[in-house]
Structure 1
Amino acid sequence: MSETPLVAFKVLTAAQMAALEADGTFAGAPIDVADGYIHLSTAEQLDETVDKHFAGQDDLHVAAVDLAALGDAVKWEPARGGALFPHIYAPLPLSAVIAYGPIERDDEGRIRPPVAG
């Protein structure tokens, strides 16, 4: 799938981000655990994911995940509107997170994904 991005994004609460940093791994948010995989979004899907699933929440963070580092644990599956979303069928290791930080928006209100620095 050479046309798919190598980086996807996980939206985390401040507590979840702190746990990922402290534990070195993230087993998933309650919805992830219930569904059996960790939900990620591409850069193009990120705004809609935050607006739909995290509306009204403050202190959110976003982690940029290197999908290649996760190998076969990543599956691209249809979700919202039939679009393909990356799902991780394993805990998310901090070692696969290439950048993270609080959610920031640009002047047009779009989320600026974190970039590896």
Structure 2
Amino acid sequence: MEHTPQPASAFKILTATQWAQFEADGVFQGAPVDVADGYIHLSTQDQVQGTLDKHFAGQDGLIIAEVDLAALKDVIKWEPSRGGALFPHIYGDLPMRAIIGHLTQIKA
């Protein structure tokens, strides 16, 4: 079995309201689904479109924030999810200092 190195960054998709609150607070404690599951869901670059299609279809004004995984190495766990693929999950809060970029998605 070939081991693929983990990427240096991953992505969190937020609504405009969640992003505004994140900017105001400087920390993101999770969307309702994150709170319910006990961790903050992230997607790798290759997984973002699938996450948009599955969980955000038809929504607009979404923010896709790039997260520096090295800044959160102690609270990141790679766990199987959709189709058995490994997804990065944050077991803790997401601080704004870990965001290395973001873009606004007009529509999912």
Pick the TM interval, shorter chain: over 0.9
Bigger RCO of structures 1 and 2 (CA < 8 A, at least 6 apart):
2
Contact 2:62 2:106 in 1 (8 A): no
Where has structure 1 moved over 6 Å in runs of 4 or more? none
Report the aligned-residue RMSD. 1.6
Identity %: 61
1:69 aligned partner, one-letter code = A
Within the candidate set 7, 15, 18, 2:9 is matched to 7
Quote how far apart the aligned CAs of 1:101 are: 2.2
Q: Deviations over 1:16-48 (max 9, x none)?
A: 011111100000000000000000000000000
The count of corresponding residues between Structure 1 and Structure 2 is 106
Structure 2 residues without counterparts, runs of 5 or longer: none
Report the counterpart of residue 41 of structure 1 in structure 2. 43
Residues 1-117 of structure 1 aligned to structure 2 (within 5 Å): 3-103=5-105
TM-score, normalising length from structure 2?
0.93
Instruction: Kindly indicate which of the two structures has a greater share of residues assigned to strand.
Output: 2
